[in-house]
Amino acid sequence: MLEIRIEKTTKPKQKPENSAKLPFGSIFTDHMFVMNYDEGKGWHDARIIPYQNLSLEPSAMVFHYGQEMFEGLKAYKTDDGRTLLFRPQKNIERANNSNARLCIPQIPPEIFLDALKAVVKMDEDWIPTAEGTSLYIRPFVIATEPHLGVKASSSYLFIIILSPSGAYYANGFNPVKIWIEDDYVRAVRGGIGESKTGGNYVASLKAQEKAHDGGYNQVLWLDGVERKYIEEVGAMNIFFKINGTVITPQLNGSILPGVTRSSVVDLCKSWGYPTEERKISIDEVFEAFQKGQLEEVWGTGTAAVISPVDQLKWKDHLMPVNPGKIGPLSQKLYDTITGIQLGKIEDTFHWTLEVK
C-alpha cells in the first residue's frame, strides 16, 4: 500500500449542480494527487493536496519537448452508493506503454492504482449522478527538468485531477457527423500514435478546424503511408457494422488502444456478432455504403463511451448512415457499458472495481 501524505483543503469549493448539463472537463474537485520523480530517487513524496496551480520553471522540458503522457477514465456512483472505476488496470497498462515510448519512467501499477483509489475516495462526494454524467479522472505525467537540451527529463510530476463532467460532445448521446481527412496526418507507424501524448492531439487540431468549418463534429484519420486504411477518430476508435459483421481497424502501432474499444470487441463477440479487428480501407467502407450494407458506424472512447455516427464525408462522397438515428447495436452497446459502469447491469466481465 502506497503511503500518501494527505493535506485536506481548508476552503472546500462549491460543488456544481448535479445536472445532465455539466460541462466536460472544466470543473475540478477540491483535491489532486501529486507524486515526484527524480533520477536516482525514483517516484517519491506521494501526496493528496488541495487542487492548486503548478509552479514550474519556464525552461521545464514539458513546455519545449512535449514529454507528457496522459490517461482518462471515469468513476461512477451506483444507486446503492458504491463508487466504481471502469477497468482502471487497462489505463495503467496503457500509461506505462506510453511512458516506455516517451522515455518517461514506469509507474509501478500498484502505486498507480492506490493513487487513483485514494484521490477518488477523497473527493467521491463530487461524483455526479445525473443522466450521462460521471467523475472524469485525468492522470498525467509531465517532464520538469529545467534544461533546453533535447533528451529525456531527469525529473517528472505525476498528477491526478478529477472533473465532474457531463457528456463529451455537447449534443450528448446523439449522432455525430464525421469528416474523413485525406490531407493532414495524425500519426504514422514507428511514431507516437499509439501513445496517449499531447503531440498526437495537437497534430489533429488543424483538420478538426477544417471539419468544424464544414459542419462536421470529428475527423476520421487515414493511415499516414498509403492514406487509404482507416485509423481512428482522434478522441475515439471507430467501428463499422457491415452486412452483419462488426469491424474495427486492428491495432498497428499508430492507433490508440482504447479501453472502450476493447470492451466493445468483447461485448460484440459475446453477443455472437462476427467481430473482426483488421485493416479496413475507406474504399471498402464506401463500397459497403453503395451496396446498402453499411448498417451502423460508431466511435468508442472513455469520454463519450459510444458515439453513433450518422454521416461520413470522404472527398466528394457523402455517406448518410441512419441519418438522425441511433443504430440498434450502438444503442445496445451504450446501454450495456453505461449499465455496467453504473452497477445496473451484472458485470460478468469483471470490468468494474469498487473504491472502498
24 in contact with a second copy (CB under 8 A): yes
147 in contact with a second copy (CB under 8 A): yes
Helix (H, G, I), strand (E, B) or coil at 134: strand
Figure out which of the listed residues 83, 91, 208, 275 binds a second copy, where binding follows CB under 8 A.
Answer: 208
Query: Hey, what's the cell of 235?
Result: 478522441
Q: Select from 171-179, 188-196, 237-245, 268-276 the region that touches a second copy (CB under 8 A).
A: 188-196
Nearest to 149 by CA among 65, 68, 66: 65
Nearest to 44 by CA among 121, 155, 160: 155
User: Least distance in Å: CB of 224 to a second copy?
Assistant: 4
Figure out which of the listed residues 5, 13, 21, 206 binds a second copy, where binding follows CB under 8 A.
Answer: 206
Nearest to 305 by CA among 74, 20, 27: 74
- How far, in Å, are 35, 105, 144, 157, 312 from residue 55 at the CA level? 14, 21, 10, 11, 44
Q: Select from 35-43, 57-65, 117-125, 341-349 the region that touches a second copy (CB under 8 A).
A: 57-65
Beta bridge partners of 307: 299
CB 235 within 8 A of CB 327: no
User: Least distance in Å: CB of 94 to a second copy?
Assistant: 15
42 in contact with a second copy (CB under 8 A): no
Figure out which of the listed residues 51, 228, 276, 347 binds a second copy, where binding follows CB under 8 A.
Answer: 51
User: Least distance in Å: CB of 339 to a second copy?
Assistant: 25
Q: State the DSSP code for 124.
A: G
Task: Give the angle subtended at the CA of 295 by the CAs of 289 and 296, to the nearest 5°.
Answer: 110
Using the minimum distance from each CB to a second copy, give the nearer residue, 1 or 148.
148
Residues 210-229 that bind a second copy (CB under 8 A): 224-225, 227
Cα–Cα distance measured from residue 288 to residue 301, given in angstroms and rounded to the nearest whole number:
24
Q: Which residues in this chain contact a second copy in the complex, by CB under 8 A?
A: 24-26, 28, 32, 51-59, 62-68, 70, 72, 101-103, 136, 138, 140, 142, 146-152, 159, 161, 163, 168, 183-192, 197-206, 208-209, 224-225, 227, 234-235
